[in-house]
Amino acid sequence: MQVLRLHGIGQLTLHDEPVPQPRPGEALIRITAVGVCGSDLHWFSEAGIGDARLDRPLVLGHEFAGVVASGRLKGRRVAVDPAVSCHRCEFCLEGNPNFCTNLRFAGHGHEDGAMQDFYSWPEECLFPLPEAITDVEGAMLEPLGVAIHAVDLAHLRPGMTVGVFGSGPIGLLILQLARLGGAIRLYATDLLPARLEAARGYGASQVYMANDSQEAGAILAETGGRGLDVVFEAAGENQAVEAAIECAKPGGTVLLAGIPGDDRTAFTASVARRKGLTIKLVRRMKLTYPRAIDLVASGLVDVRSLVTQTYPLSEFQKAFEVASQRQGLKVVVQPETD
Protein backbone atom coordinates (compact mmCIF):
# COMPACT_ATOMS: atom_id res chain seq x y z
CA MET A 1 0.00 0.00 0.00
CA GLN A 2 1.01 3.63 -0.47
CA VAL A 3 2.09 5.59 2.62
CA LEU A 4 3.04 9.29 2.64
CA ARG A 5 5.78 10.13 5.15
CA LEU A 6 7.28 13.45 6.19
CA HIS A 7 11.08 13.21 6.48
CA GLY A 8 11.96 16.86 7.13
CA ILE A 9 10.88 20.39 6.31
CA GLY A 10 8.97 20.19 3.02
CA GLN A 11 10.18 16.62 2.45
CA LEU A 12 7.26 14.30 1.76
CA THR A 13 7.86 10.89 0.16
CA LEU A 14 5.52 8.09 -0.91
CA HIS A 15 6.54 4.66 0.37
CA ASP A 16 5.30 1.15 -0.44
CA GLU A 17 4.63 -0.54 2.91
CA PRO A 18 2.69 -3.57 4.18
CA VAL A 19 -0.93 -3.19 5.18
CA PRO A 20 -1.02 -2.74 9.00
CA GLN A 21 -2.33 -5.50 11.22
CA PRO A 22 -4.96 -4.32 13.73
CA ARG A 23 -4.13 -4.76 17.39
CA PRO A 24 -6.76 -5.94 19.90
CA GLY A 25 -9.64 -3.47 19.97
CA GLU A 26 -8.66 -1.97 16.61
CA ALA A 27 -10.14 -2.17 13.13
CA LEU A 28 -8.52 -1.85 9.73
CA ILE A 29 -9.83 1.13 7.76
CA ARG A 30 -9.55 1.75 4.03
CA ILE A 31 -8.95 5.50 3.96
CA THR A 32 -11.14 7.46 1.52
CA ALA A 33 -10.64 11.13 2.51
CA VAL A 34 -8.08 13.06 4.58
CA GLY A 35 -8.20 16.81 5.21
CA VAL A 36 -5.01 18.86 5.20
CA CYS A 37 -5.17 20.79 8.47
CA GLY A 38 -3.25 23.88 9.52
CA SER A 39 -1.40 21.73 12.06
CA ASP A 40 -0.31 19.41 9.22
CA LEU A 41 1.12 22.49 7.53
CA HIS A 42 3.08 23.34 10.69
CA TRP A 43 4.64 19.87 10.56
CA PHE A 44 5.28 20.25 6.82
CA SER A 45 6.89 23.71 6.97
CA GLU A 46 8.55 23.54 10.40
CA ALA A 47 9.11 19.80 11.03
CA GLY A 48 7.12 20.19 14.22
CA ILE A 49 4.35 21.99 16.01
CA GLY A 50 4.61 23.66 19.39
CA ASP A 51 7.01 21.66 21.50
CA ALA A 52 6.61 18.47 19.42
CA ARG A 53 9.43 17.92 16.92
CA LEU A 54 9.90 15.50 14.05
CA ASP A 55 12.28 12.74 15.13
CA ARG A 56 11.29 10.04 12.62
CA PRO A 57 9.46 9.91 9.27
CA LEU A 58 5.86 10.72 10.22
CA VAL A 59 2.57 10.03 8.44
CA LEU A 60 0.39 13.13 8.72
CA GLY A 61 -3.41 13.32 8.67
CA HIS A 62 -5.93 13.47 11.52
CA GLU A 63 -9.09 14.64 9.70
CA PHE A 64 -10.27 11.48 7.97
CA ALA A 65 -12.97 9.06 6.95
CA GLY A 66 -12.95 5.61 5.40
CA VAL A 67 -14.55 2.21 5.03
CA VAL A 68 -14.01 -0.35 7.78
CA ALA A 69 -12.23 -3.44 6.43
CA SER A 70 -12.29 -5.62 9.56
CA GLY A 71 -14.12 -6.07 12.85
CA ARG A 72 -17.71 -5.53 13.97
CA LEU A 73 -18.23 -2.50 11.68
CA LYS A 74 -16.81 -4.15 8.55
CA GLY A 75 -18.20 -2.54 5.41
CA ARG A 76 -19.46 0.60 7.17
CA ARG A 77 -18.37 4.08 6.14
CA VAL A 78 -17.05 5.91 9.18
CA ALA A 79 -15.63 9.19 10.39
CA VAL A 80 -12.72 8.71 12.77
CA ASP A 81 -11.88 10.52 15.99
CA PRO A 82 -8.09 10.95 15.86
CA ALA A 83 -7.76 11.14 19.66
CA VAL A 84 -7.50 8.01 21.80
CA SER A 85 -7.76 8.73 25.51
CA CYS A 86 -6.89 6.27 28.27
CA HIS A 87 -10.20 6.55 30.20
CA ARG A 88 -8.24 6.09 33.43
CA CYS A 89 -6.30 9.28 34.22
CA GLU A 90 -7.59 12.10 36.41
CA PHE A 91 -8.63 14.24 33.45
CA CYS A 92 -10.43 11.46 31.60
CA LEU A 93 -12.36 10.62 34.78
CA GLU A 94 -13.27 14.30 35.14
CA GLY A 95 -14.87 14.20 31.68
CA ASN A 96 -12.02 16.00 29.90
CA PRO A 97 -10.47 13.37 27.61
CA ASN A 98 -8.86 16.13 25.51
CA PHE A 99 -6.50 16.70 28.48
CA CYS A 100 -5.65 12.99 28.83
CA THR A 101 -2.09 12.52 30.06
CA ASN A 102 -1.74 9.34 27.97
CA LEU A 103 -3.39 10.65 24.80
CA ARG A 104 -2.62 9.14 21.41
CA PHE A 105 -3.34 11.47 18.49
CA ALA A 106 -3.17 10.46 14.84
CA GLY A 107 -0.47 12.20 12.79
CA HIS A 108 1.28 13.74 15.77
CA GLY A 109 4.57 12.94 17.51
CA HIS A 110 5.12 9.18 17.51
CA GLU A 111 1.65 8.31 16.17
CA ASP A 112 1.29 7.93 12.41
CA GLY A 113 -1.75 9.46 10.76
CA ALA A 114 -4.12 8.62 7.93
CA MET A 115 -2.33 9.74 4.73
CA GLN A 116 -2.03 6.15 3.58
CA ASP A 117 -4.23 3.58 1.88
CA PHE A 118 -5.06 1.58 5.00
CA TYR A 119 -4.93 2.53 8.66
CA SER A 120 -5.48 0.66 11.90
CA TRP A 121 -7.26 2.53 14.72
CA PRO A 122 -9.36 1.70 17.83
CA GLU A 123 -12.95 0.74 17.08
CA GLU A 124 -14.19 3.03 19.87
CA CYS A 125 -13.10 6.00 17.72
CA LEU A 126 -15.15 4.99 14.67
CA PHE A 127 -18.46 6.76 14.02
CA PRO A 128 -20.70 5.30 11.28
CA LEU A 129 -21.81 7.85 8.69
CA PRO A 130 -25.41 8.13 7.51
CA GLU A 131 -26.08 8.10 3.77
CA ALA A 132 -26.64 11.86 3.88
CA ILE A 133 -22.95 12.46 4.66
CA THR A 134 -20.26 11.82 2.05
CA ASP A 135 -16.78 10.56 2.91
CA VAL A 136 -15.31 14.01 2.24
CA GLU A 137 -17.85 15.53 4.61
CA GLY A 138 -16.97 12.81 7.10
CA ALA A 139 -13.35 13.99 7.10
CA MET A 140 -14.60 17.49 7.90
CA LEU A 141 -16.29 16.35 11.12
CA GLU A 142 -12.98 16.68 13.00
CA PRO A 143 -12.54 20.43 12.33
CA LEU A 144 -16.27 20.86 12.98
CA GLY A 145 -15.71 19.16 16.34
CA VAL A 146 -13.00 21.69 17.20
CA ALA A 147 -15.40 24.52 16.31
CA ILE A 148 -18.17 22.96 18.42
CA HIS A 149 -15.82 22.70 21.39
CA ALA A 150 -14.74 26.34 20.97
CA VAL A 151 -18.36 27.52 20.92
CA ASP A 152 -19.14 25.34 23.95
CA LEU A 153 -16.32 27.05 25.86
CA ALA A 154 -17.72 30.47 24.93
CA HIS A 155 -21.12 29.83 26.60
CA LEU A 156 -22.70 31.64 23.68
CA ARG A 157 -26.25 32.93 24.23
CA PRO A 158 -28.89 34.29 21.82
CA GLY A 159 -28.56 38.01 21.13
CA MET A 160 -24.80 38.21 21.63
CA THR A 161 -22.39 40.02 19.32
CA VAL A 162 -19.55 37.79 18.12
CA GLY A 163 -16.24 38.25 16.32
CA VAL A 164 -14.27 35.60 14.43
CA PHE A 165 -10.72 36.69 13.71
CA GLY A 166 -9.30 34.36 11.08
CA SER A 167 -11.68 33.04 8.42
CA GLY A 168 -10.08 29.73 7.55
CA PRO A 169 -12.08 26.50 7.84
CA ILE A 170 -12.25 26.53 11.66
CA GLY A 171 -13.25 30.20 11.74
CA LEU A 172 -15.93 29.65 9.10
CA LEU A 173 -17.35 26.70 11.02
CA ILE A 174 -17.43 28.82 14.19
CA LEU A 175 -19.34 31.47 12.24
CA GLN A 176 -21.98 28.94 11.23
CA LEU A 177 -22.32 27.62 14.78
CA ALA A 178 -22.48 31.12 16.30
CA ARG A 179 -25.27 32.01 13.89
CA LEU A 180 -27.12 28.81 14.90
CA GLY A 181 -26.57 29.76 18.54
CA GLY A 182 -28.41 33.04 18.07
CA ALA A 183 -25.60 35.57 17.65
CA ILE A 184 -27.33 38.75 16.52
CA ARG A 185 -24.30 40.26 14.78
CA LEU A 186 -21.20 38.48 13.49
CA TYR A 187 -17.94 40.21 12.56
CA ALA A 188 -15.17 38.40 10.67
CA THR A 189 -11.60 39.28 9.70
CA ASP A 190 -8.88 37.75 7.54
CA LEU A 191 -5.89 38.66 5.41
CA LEU A 192 -7.38 37.18 2.23
CA PRO A 193 -10.33 38.79 0.38
CA ALA A 194 -11.64 35.42 -0.82
CA ARG A 195 -11.93 34.20 2.75
CA LEU A 196 -13.74 37.35 3.76
CA GLU A 197 -16.26 36.72 0.98
CA ALA A 198 -16.66 33.17 2.27
CA ALA A 199 -17.25 34.55 5.78
CA ARG A 200 -19.98 36.80 4.45
CA GLY A 201 -21.57 33.80 2.78
CA TYR A 202 -21.54 31.83 6.03
CA GLY A 203 -23.34 34.52 7.98
CA ALA A 204 -20.94 37.35 8.89
CA SER A 205 -22.75 40.68 9.22
CA GLN A 206 -19.57 42.65 8.50
CA VAL A 207 -16.14 41.60 7.26
CA TYR A 208 -12.83 43.42 7.67
CA MET A 209 -9.40 43.01 6.16
CA ALA A 210 -6.87 42.32 8.92
CA ASN A 211 -4.50 45.27 8.79
CA ASP A 212 -2.14 45.95 11.71
CA SER A 213 -5.09 45.71 14.10
CA GLN A 214 -6.82 48.67 12.40
CA GLU A 215 -9.80 46.36 11.96
CA ALA A 216 -10.26 46.56 15.73
CA GLY A 217 -10.94 50.28 15.53
CA ALA A 218 -13.45 49.77 12.73
CA ILE A 219 -15.31 47.08 14.69
CA LEU A 220 -15.37 49.18 17.85
CA ALA A 221 -16.75 52.10 15.85
CA GLU A 222 -19.40 49.82 14.34
CA THR A 223 -20.50 48.71 17.82
CA GLY A 224 -20.58 52.27 19.19
CA GLY A 225 -17.47 51.63 21.28
CA ARG A 226 -19.15 48.86 23.28
CA GLY A 227 -17.15 45.97 21.85
CA LEU A 228 -18.10 42.34 21.30
CA ASP A 229 -19.49 39.85 23.80
CA VAL A 230 -17.39 36.96 22.50
CA VAL A 231 -14.36 36.94 20.19
CA PHE A 232 -12.85 33.83 18.63
CA GLU A 233 -9.24 34.03 17.41
CA ALA A 234 -8.70 31.36 14.75
CA ALA A 235 -5.72 32.75 12.84
CA GLY A 236 -2.69 31.68 14.87
CA GLU A 237 -1.24 35.19 14.56
CA ASN A 238 -0.50 37.63 17.36
CA GLN A 239 -2.01 40.46 15.34
CA ALA A 240 -5.33 38.62 15.49
CA VAL A 241 -4.92 38.00 19.22
CA GLU A 242 -4.25 41.70 19.89
CA ALA A 243 -7.24 42.72 17.78
CA ALA A 244 -9.45 40.20 19.57
CA ILE A 245 -8.45 41.58 22.98
CA GLU A 246 -9.03 45.12 21.73
CA CYS A 247 -12.50 44.31 20.38
CA ALA A 248 -13.83 42.37 23.35
CA LYS A 249 -16.19 44.31 25.59
CA PRO A 250 -15.42 44.78 29.32
CA GLY A 251 -16.29 41.48 30.98
CA GLY A 252 -16.24 39.72 27.59
CA THR A 253 -14.71 36.40 26.58
CA VAL A 254 -11.87 35.70 24.15
CA LEU A 255 -11.30 32.18 22.80
CA LEU A 256 -7.84 31.44 21.38
CA ALA A 257 -8.16 28.59 18.86
CA GLY A 258 -5.28 29.45 16.50
CA ILE A 259 -1.88 27.74 16.73
CA PRO A 260 1.01 30.24 16.51
CA GLY A 261 3.95 29.23 14.36
CA ASP A 262 6.55 30.30 16.92
CA ASP A 263 4.70 28.69 19.86
CA ARG A 264 4.20 32.11 21.46
CA THR A 265 1.04 34.14 22.11
CA ALA A 266 1.27 37.74 23.33
CA PHE A 267 -1.15 40.58 23.98
CA THR A 268 -1.25 43.88 25.81
CA ALA A 269 -1.90 42.85 29.39
CA SER A 270 -3.18 46.23 30.55
CA VAL A 271 -6.01 46.17 28.02
CA ALA A 272 -7.11 42.65 28.96
CA ARG A 273 -6.76 43.34 32.68
CA ARG A 274 -8.63 46.63 32.57
CA LYS A 275 -11.53 44.93 30.82
CA GLY A 276 -11.49 41.95 33.17
CA LEU A 277 -11.60 39.57 30.20
CA THR A 278 -12.05 35.83 30.39
CA ILE A 279 -9.43 34.28 28.08
CA LYS A 280 -9.67 30.60 27.20
CA LEU A 281 -7.50 28.40 25.00
CA VAL A 282 -9.13 25.74 22.86
CA ARG A 283 -7.57 22.28 23.23
CA ARG A 284 -8.79 20.23 20.28
CA MET A 285 -12.28 18.91 21.13
CA LYS A 286 -14.14 16.46 23.32
CA LEU A 287 -17.14 14.21 22.80
CA THR A 288 -18.38 16.12 19.76
CA TYR A 289 -18.70 13.56 16.94
CA PRO A 290 -22.37 12.59 17.46
CA ARG A 291 -23.38 16.27 17.51
CA ALA A 292 -21.22 17.02 14.46
CA ILE A 293 -22.83 14.17 12.53
CA ASP A 294 -26.34 15.36 13.40
CA LEU A 295 -25.55 18.98 12.48
CA VAL A 296 -24.24 18.01 9.04
CA ALA A 297 -26.84 15.32 8.30
CA SER A 298 -29.65 17.74 9.14
CA GLY A 299 -28.20 20.44 6.89
CA LEU A 300 -27.77 22.91 9.75
CA VAL A 301 -24.00 23.14 9.16
CA ASP A 302 -22.41 23.11 5.71
CA VAL A 303 -19.00 21.45 5.62
CA ARG A 304 -18.99 20.31 1.99
CA SER A 305 -18.63 23.77 0.46
CA LEU A 306 -15.55 24.39 2.62
CA VAL A 307 -13.71 21.73 0.60
CA THR A 308 -12.45 23.64 -2.40
CA GLN A 309 -9.78 21.25 -3.73
CA THR A 310 -9.38 17.46 -3.73
CA TYR A 311 -6.31 15.52 -4.89
CA PRO A 312 -5.40 11.84 -5.10
CA LEU A 313 -2.64 10.74 -2.73
CA SER A 314 -0.24 10.53 -5.68
CA GLU A 315 -0.58 14.32 -6.13
CA PHE A 316 0.47 15.07 -2.54
CA GLN A 317 2.99 17.70 -3.64
CA LYS A 318 0.30 19.76 -5.34
CA ALA A 319 -2.07 19.28 -2.40
CA PHE A 320 0.42 20.60 0.14
CA GLU A 321 1.54 23.40 -2.16
CA VAL A 322 -2.03 24.64 -2.58
CA ALA A 323 -2.79 24.30 1.13
CA SER A 324 0.44 26.07 2.13
CA GLN A 325 -0.38 28.99 -0.15
CA ARG A 326 -3.88 29.23 1.40
CA GLN A 327 -5.53 28.86 -1.99
CA GLY A 328 -9.21 28.22 -1.49
CA LEU A 329 -10.37 26.93 1.90
CA LYS A 330 -9.85 23.22 2.63
CA VAL A 331 -7.73 20.73 0.69
CA VAL A 332 -8.67 17.05 0.92
CA VAL A 333 -6.47 14.13 -0.14
CA GLN A 334 -8.16 10.93 -1.34
CA PRO A 335 -6.16 7.68 -1.51
CA GLU A 336 -6.77 5.69 -4.68
CA THR A 337 -7.16 2.16 -3.31
CA ASP A 338 -9.84 0.10 -5.05
Helix H, strand E, coil C: the string for the chain is: CEEEEEEECCEEEEEECCCCCCCCCEEEEEEEEEECCHHHHHHHHHCEECCEECCCCECCCCEEEEEECCCCCCCCEEEECCEECCCCCHHHHCCCHHHCCCCEECCECCECCCCECEEEEEHHHEEECCCCCCHHHHHCHHHHHHHHHHHHHHCCCCCCEEEEECCCHHHHHHHHHHHHCCCCEEEEEECCHHHHHHHHHCCCCEEEECCCCHHHHHHHHHCCCCCEEEEEECCCCHHHHHHHHHHEEEEEEEEECCCCCCCCCCCCHHHHHHHCCEEEECCCCCCCHHHHHHHHHCCCCCCHHHEEEEEEHHHHHHHHHHHHCCCCCEEEEECCCC
Level-2 CATH architecture, domain 145-281:
3-Layer(aba) Sandwich (3.40)
**Predicted pLDDT at 223:** 95
- Tell me what pLDDT residue 212 has: 80
State yes or no: pLDDT of 118 exceeds 70.
yes
Q: Mind listing the pLDDT tens digit for each residue in 54-85?
A: 999 999 999 999 999 999 999 999 999 999 99
pLDDT of residue 213: 76
Q: What is the mean pLDDT of residues 35-46?
A: 96
What would the pLDDT profile of 242-279 be if each residue is shown by its tens digit? 999 999 999 999 999 999 988 999 999 999 999 999 99
Percent of the chain at pLDDT exceeding 70: 99
Domain 2-140+303-334, CATH 3.90.180.10 — does that match?
Answer: yes
pLDDT beyond 60 at 174: yes
> Which pLDDT tens digit goes with each residue over 284-309?
999 999 999 999 999 999 999 999 99
Residue 337 has pLDDT above 80, yes or no: no
Q: Supply the pLDDT for residue 336.
A: 79
pLDDT higher than 90, residue 335? yes
- pLDDT of 122 reads 98
Residue 338 has pLDDT above 70, yes or no: no
Mean of the per-residue pLDDT values of the chain: 96
175-193 pLDDT tens trace: 999 999 999 999 999 999 9
Delimiting residues of CATH 3.90.180.10 domain(s) in the chain = 2-140+303-334
Looking at the chain, which residues constitute the CATH 3.40.50.720 domain(s)?
Answer: 145-281
pLDDT in tens, 220-233: 999 999 999 999 99
